[in-house]
Structure 1
Amino acid sequence: MEATGRNGNKRMHQRLGPSQAVAPDRANNKVCYHWRAGRCNRHPCPFLHSEMPTPQQQSAAPDGGVAKRNLVWKNPSNAGAASAPPSKWGKGRGGGAVGRPPGKAPDRLCNYFLAGNCTYGEKCRFLHSWFVGDSFSLLTSLQGHQKAVSGIALPSGSDKLYSGSKDESVRVWDCQSGQCVGVINVGGEVGCMISEGPWIFIGVPNAVKAWNMQTATDLNLDGPIGQVYSLVVGNELLFAGTQDGRILAWKFSAMGNCFEPAASLMGHQLSVVSLVVGAMRLYSGSMDNTIRVWDLATLQCIQTLTDHTSVVMSVLCWDQFLLSCSLDKTIKVWVATESGNLEATYTHNEEHGVLSLFGMLDAQVKPILLCSCNDNSVHLYDLPSFSERGKIFSKEEVRAMQVGPGGLFFTGDATGELKVWNWLTNEMPHS
C-alpha cells in the first residue's frame, strides 16, 4: 500500500487533476458521448475518455506535477445548475452481472462458501468469490476487529491506515506491511471517523475525539448527547451529527490549540446519520426521513427535502448534484432549480435498503458510485448512467468505505473485517 501518488478522491474533498495523457489526434479533444453515458465499447475510441480539464485544473503543482487540490468530485452549486439538466441519469442500466464466471447463478453467493465448507468446490453452481467485476481485484483482508467497522481514515502525510469499530477500538495498520501496529481503546463504540489534514476525528457516545498525528495532540470535544453518527469539515468548522437530532459545530482556535463550540443546529426530529458539505451548503440526512440544507454562512436551514419515505442513510455530492440513499430502497439525484431549491430529478431503485454511498474514480478516471445495501452487498455503478461495473459481497453489511493512494479502496463490514481492493489499470478479459 504505497503512501504516495494518491489516485482518487478523499471523502468530500476528493480531488485529482487530469491524470490521463491526451492523444493529440483524438478528435480535436472532444469527450466521447458514449463514455459519458458509461457504455462506450470502441477500442480504441477516437474521442476522449476523460473530462477536459478546466483552466484551474491545468495549473501545475510546485513540484511540477499536477495540482492535487483540483476538484473532481465537485460540490453541488445552485449557481447555473439549472442550465445543465441531467439527461443521462440511468441510461445504460442493466446488462446483468459483470465478469460472472460462465454457468454460475447470477450474483448468488454460495452460503457454504461463506461458511468455508462447500464440498462442491469449483463445480458449485453458485459463486465462490467475494466479488464479480473485471476492473478491480481484492488485494487482502485485514482482520482484528471484533465488531462492525464503522470508520476508515488515512490522515494526510501518514503511512498508517486507521479503522474504527463498534468494539470500542481504533486499529492502526501499517500501509507497507498491512500489519496491525497498534490498538487504541476509545472507551465507547465508534459511530464514525474522518480525517482532515493531520487530524483524525472520531465520533463516540457523548463526545468527539480529535487526534493530531503530527503534534500528538489528543482532544476531547464535549457537547454531544448520545452517539455521534456523522462528522464533516466545512468552512473551517467541524460538524457532528448526533443521536438527539442536533448538529454541533466547533471552530479550531490556534491560540489555545483547541476546538471551541461555535453553534448547535436544530431542526431534525431524530438522529443525524449523514453529513456532507458542498458549495457553502451543509446537507444532513436523518432517521426522520428528511434531508436538511443549511447555509454555511448563516448556519440557518434553508430547505428541507422530504421525498424519502424511510431513514436517509447517506448523502453525497457529485458535480452539481446531490445524491442521497435510504432504507426505502432508493437513491435519489437532486439538482438545483432556477429558484435555487433542490428537486429530485432521478430515482434509482434497488432491491434492498441502501445503507451508504461513496464516490471515487476508477483507473481510467471515470466517476464510480459505491452503493452498500443491507443484503450484504456493494454495487459499483458508473455515473451518471448507473451501468453496473461490479459487485462486492460480504458476510455482513458494509457500513464503512474509503479511498486510498495508488488506486486502492477499502470496505469494512459488520463482522469487523477490513478488505483492501485495487482498481486495475488494464481490465481483465471476460471469462
Structure 2
Amino acid sequence: MPGYPHSESDGFVPLPFGAQIVPALGGPGAPVRVVDCGLVDGRPVVISDGPDHLVRLWDLASHRQIGPPLEGESSISVWSLAFGTLDGRPVAVRGHGDLTIWELTGHGRTERPAEPRYVRYNARGSIYAVACGVLGERSIAVTGAYDRTVRVWDLADGTPVGAPLTGHESVVRAVAVGVLAQRTIAVTGGEDNTVRVWDLSKGGRHGRPLTGHTEPVRAVAVGMLDGRPVAVSGSDDHTLRLWDLPTGRQIGPTMTGHTGAVRSVALAAPDGVPIIISGSSDYSVRVWDARTGEQIGMPLTDGRTLGIDSVAYSLLGGRPRVVAADGYGFARIWNLDAHRAMGPGSPTRYAAELPGTWTDPDSGDVYDLTGPLVDDEGGEWKYVDFDGFEPLVTDTDDPRLGLSVAFAHYEWGFSDIVTPGPPAPAFTPITTEECPSWGPAGASAAMAAEGRERRPPVHVL
C-alpha cells in the first residue's frame, strides 16, 4: 500500500494488537514469509524473503523498503534466510535447495543490486535451514537438509568445511550457531523430534541428543542465561524447551500455551532480562521469561494474520522490537517496551474516533461505515477499530479479532456499503529515490492476485 508516510516517531502503536507498530512490512507487491534482522550501513534493517523469491531490505525505523529487491535462482518455496558477515561486511544468505549469498554493503545507494553467488548442494536432498557464524577466522554458513545431514560452508568461496555431520534420523528443520567453552557450535532440530549439538571445531557431535519433544522440532535458537550458554527449541507439539548446553539438561518447566506448532524462536535480553520469543501457527507471537518459563503479558496477535512463519529480534535506538512474518505476506513489528507495560490485558480499541468513510488506496473502493454492516451472505459485522491505516471489522463479540474491511469485503462481500473505485494502477518497481511503504491493508488485492478460494473467517485469541 504505497503512499503512507511513516516513521516510528509518528506514534502508531495499536494497543489492542499487543503494541504493534503499523504499517506492516510487505504486502501484495512485496510479500514476506521469512525474516531476519541485522545492521547494514550502520542502520537496523529487516531482511525478508517471500513467495515471489525476492530478498528485500527494510528500514526498521521507517518501515520502508531499502533499494531494489535482490534476485536469485529459485523455483521452490523459500525455507530459510539468515543475516551474516563476510570479512566484516553484511551478507544475506538464503537456503532454498541450494545456498544463495548477497553482499549488502551500500545496497541502499545503488540502483543495481549485488549479483548473487551460489553454493550448489549436490548431495541427495536439498537445504532447508541455514544459520551464519564464525569458525576460527572463517565466516561460515551451517545448513540442515532433507538428506538428514548438517554441513558447514565457507562463505568466502562456497566450499564445504569438513565432512557432513550425521546423526539425525530425519529431515533437519532448524539450525542455530553459537559458542560453548570458546568453541563454535551448531544446534539443530529435526523431524526425529530431537535437538542435537555439534562441535564445529572438531567436526563431530557434542554430547547426547536432547530429547523430550514428542513431535518434529522446527525451531531452535542459542543465547546466554545468567552467564551460561543455552538453547531454546520449539516443536509441532506446541511446546518450547530450554536447554543448558554444557550439561544437555532441560532448564525449568516445558513452556506451554501455544495451541499450534511452534515455527520460530528467538532469545534476547532487553535491559538484561533474558526472554524467549516464539511464533506459532496459532496466529500468535508469545514472550516468555527465560528464567521461570512463564509467559510475559498477553500474546501478540492480529486477526489479519494467517499463522506466524518466522520471528526475529532487533534493537532500534537501544529499544527492543519483534518482527514476525505471517502467512499473508506481511511482517508485523511489535514494541516490546509497550507490550511489557500493558500487562496481561489490553484496551478494547485503539482509535479515539472511528472515521465514517474510508477509501481503499489499492482499489479506490469507498466504504460507508456509518450504518449496519451486513455481508452478501447475510452475516452481521461490527466496526470495531481503526489502526491509522484501515478500518477493522469483526463478526464476533471480541473486538480484538479484527479483520481488514477490505479483506472481509473480498471474502464475503459488502455490496450495500461499497462504491467501487477505478481499476488499480499497475505495480511500479521500487527505486532508491522513493521507497514506498506497504501497510496491512490491501488483503483483497493480494487474495485476488493469488487466486485464493474463500475460506471461513480466521479468528484468534
- Fold similarity call, TM over 0.5: yes
Partner of residue 295, structure 2: 344
Contact 1:148 1:165 in 2 (8 A): no
Contact 2:319 2:337 in 1 (8 A): no
The residue matched to 1:222 in structure 2 has which SS? coil
| Match of residue 50 from structure 1 | none
For 1:178, give the aligned amino acid: A
1:211 counterpart letter in structure 2: W
Q: Which runs of 5+ in 2 are unaligned?
A: 1-7, 31-55, 106-112, 340-349, 351-386, 391-428, 438-461
Q: Tell me, what secondary structure is at the counterpart of 2:296? A: strand
Cα distance in structure 2, aligned partners of 1:218 and 1:389: 53
SS in 2 for 1:220: coil
| 2:142–2:186 Cα contact (<8 Å) kept | no
Give the 3-state SS of the residue equivalent to 1:273 in structure 2: strand
Q: Distance in 2 between matches of 1:369 and 1:420?
A: 25
Structure 1 counterpart of 2:84:
154
Identity among equivalent pairs (%):
19
Q: CA RMSD in A?
A: 4.1
> Which residue type is aligned with residue 247 of structure 1?
V
Match of 2:163, SS state, is: strand
Q: Which has the higher contact order (CA 8 A, sep 6+)?
A: 1
Distance 1:158 1:184, change over 3 A: farther
Deviation at residue 196 of structure 1 after TM alignment: 0.9
The residue number in structure 1 matching 2:45 is none
TM-score (norm 1): 0.56
Q: Give the CA deviation at 1:283.
A: 1.0
| Paired residues for 1:155-170 under 5 Å | 155-157=85-87, 161=91, 163-166=93-96, 168-170=97-99
Whichever residue aligns with residue 263 of structure 2, its letter is M
Q: What is the aligned counterpart of 2:70 among 128, 139, 142?
A: 142
Please state how far the C-alpha of 1:318 moved relative to its aligned partner.
Answer: 2.6
Note the C-alpha offset of 1:288: 0.8
Distance 1:239 1:99 in 2: 31
Give the match for residue 241 of structure 1: 189
1:298 paired residue number: 247
Cα shift at 1:208: 0.6
C-alpha contact (below 8 Å) 1:369/1:381 kept by paired residues: yes
For residues 239 and 314 of structure 2, the distance between their equivalents in structure 1, rounded to whole angstroms, comes to 25
- Residue 333 to residue 389, structure 1, CA distance change in 2 (3 Å): farther
How many angstroms does 1:92 deviate by? Answer: 9.2
The secondary structure found in structure 1 opposite 2:337 is coil
The answer to whether structure 1 residue 179 and structure 2 residue 115 are counterparts is yes
The answer to whether the 8 Å contact 2:81/2:95 transfers is yes
Q: Which amino acid aligns with 2:265?
A: V
Alpha-carbon spacing, 1:165–1:277, altered in 2? closer, same or farther (3 Å): closer
CA distances 1:70-96 after superposition (whole Å, capped 9, x unpaired): xxxxxxxxxxxxxxxxxx995896799
> How far, CA to CA, are the matches of 1:421 and 1:333 in structure 2?
36
TM-score when scaled to structure 2? 0.52
- What SS does the aligned partner of 2:120 have? strand
The equivalent position to 1:367 in structure 2, one of 304, 320, 333, is: 320
Distance 2:29 2:153 in 1: 42
Match for 2:329: what amino acid? N
How far off its partner does 1:244 sit?
A: 0.9
Counterpart-to-counterpart distance in 2, 1:390 and 1:238: 42
Mapped pair 1:325 → 2:274: no
Amino acid at match of 2:141: I
Decide whether the 8 Å contact of 2:129 with 2:143 is kept in 1: yes
What pairs with 1:181-260 in structure 2 (closer than 5 Å)?
181-187=117-123, 188-197=125-134, 198-205=139-146, 206-213=148-155, 216=159, 217-234=161-178, 235=180, 236=183, 237-253=185-201, 258-260=203-205
> The residue matched to 2:295 in structure 1 has which SS?
strand
Match of 1:26 in 2: none
2: CA distance, partners of 1:297 / 1:208: 21
Structure 1, unaligned stretches of length 5 or more?
A: 1-37, 42-87, 101-106, 112-129, 392-418
Q: Secondary structure at the match of 1:185?
A: coil
